[in-house]
Amino acid sequence: MKPRDLFDMILLAALWGGSFLFMRYDAPAFGAVPLIWLRMAIAAACLMPLLLWRGHGKVLREHAGMITLLGVSSTALPYVLIAWAMLSITSGLASILNAATPIFTAIVAAVWLRDKLSYSQILGLVIGFGGVSLLAADKADFKPGGSGWAIIAMLLAALLYGFSTNLTKRYLGKVPPLVNAAGASLTSAVLLTPLAWWYWPAKMPGLTAWLAVIGLGAGSTALALLLFFRLIANIGAARAITVTFLIPLFGILWGYLFLHETLNAGMLLGGGVVIVGTALATGVLRLPGMAGRTAA
């Protein structure tokens, strides 16, 4: 990995780790759908002028159908699920659950793209889901007001990320990163407009909440999507998605510094198991004698 790609990955992890902070703060003020509509509208407002200035409008039109699907699966649906989950769980726990994304990416690649999994990767999938189970066992509560459904929402978002990453790899790998980022943002903003209007909060949020939305839309979305799709183009989807290893570090750090969230031993243990399993599932960590052997 080139130094520039490594810098992009660290910056992306910091930005996406910050998104959990922003959503944890803003979701109660705006509601899940209006918050994500604002997030994507701001991102589209930042990215679309740049796309048109670079003359990529024709490319966007040529791939409009697939980019629309990308927008639904990579931003609109998972972002709403995460924002809704943030009403019940901390930003630190959400960022740890998000680290399961590469596990779902590997599963989708195996099922859809017929990528063969080594025995080491299969072991990683089992370990990773074991870590998620540890986290869920400690936190899951399906009673009214509990966090059980929020955890399921986070895992569904991770599954959608896994699908959209492979979608990009399969159909949009040669499309400029700016086109994917701008197109996904615009699609999400347009599709969420009627729902955002319907669920718009009765009481207007304060200035701090609006500043957080701007940070979420411009930094943790517009800039972050540009970095992510550029990483996919430069180092490949499988390696780019490993950015989720770093996101919990920043998610926990920002939550501790700005929201005074605490981190218990169960979260540390479960998070560590998820990260080890994910490292095996993506091939970042290889077990001697198992890495090259694939399952039939």
**CA torsion 40→42→46→49, rounded to 10°?**
80
* Distance between start and end Cα atoms, the chain: 31
Q: Kindly give, in sequence order, each residue whose CB lies less than 8 Å from that of residue 230, ignoring residues fewer than 6 positions away.
A: 8, 177
CA–CA gap between residue 45 and residue 218 (Å, rounded): 9
CA–CA gap between residue 293 and residue 121 (Å, rounded): 10
Q: Please name the residue that has the structure tokens 């198991």.
A: 273
CA–CA gap between residue 127 and residue 275 (Å, rounded): 9
Task: Work out the angle between the directed axes of helices 177-198 and 224-235 (0-180°, nearest 10).
Answer: 140
Which two three-digit tokens encode residue 117?
Answer: 């999994």
* pLDDT by residue, tens only, the chain of 296 residues: 688 888 998 899 999 999 999 999 999 999 999 999 999 999 999 999 999 999 999 999 999 999 999 999 999 999 999 999 999 888 888 888 888 888 888 889 889 988 877 788 788 888 877 877 776 666 556 555 557 888 899 999 999 999 999 999 899 988 998 999 999 999 999 999 999 999 999 999 999 999 999 999 999 999 999 998 888 888 877 778 778 778 888 888 898 889 888 877 777 787 788 788 777 776 777 776 655 555 54
Identity at 163, one-letter amino acid code: F
pTM as predicted: 0.86
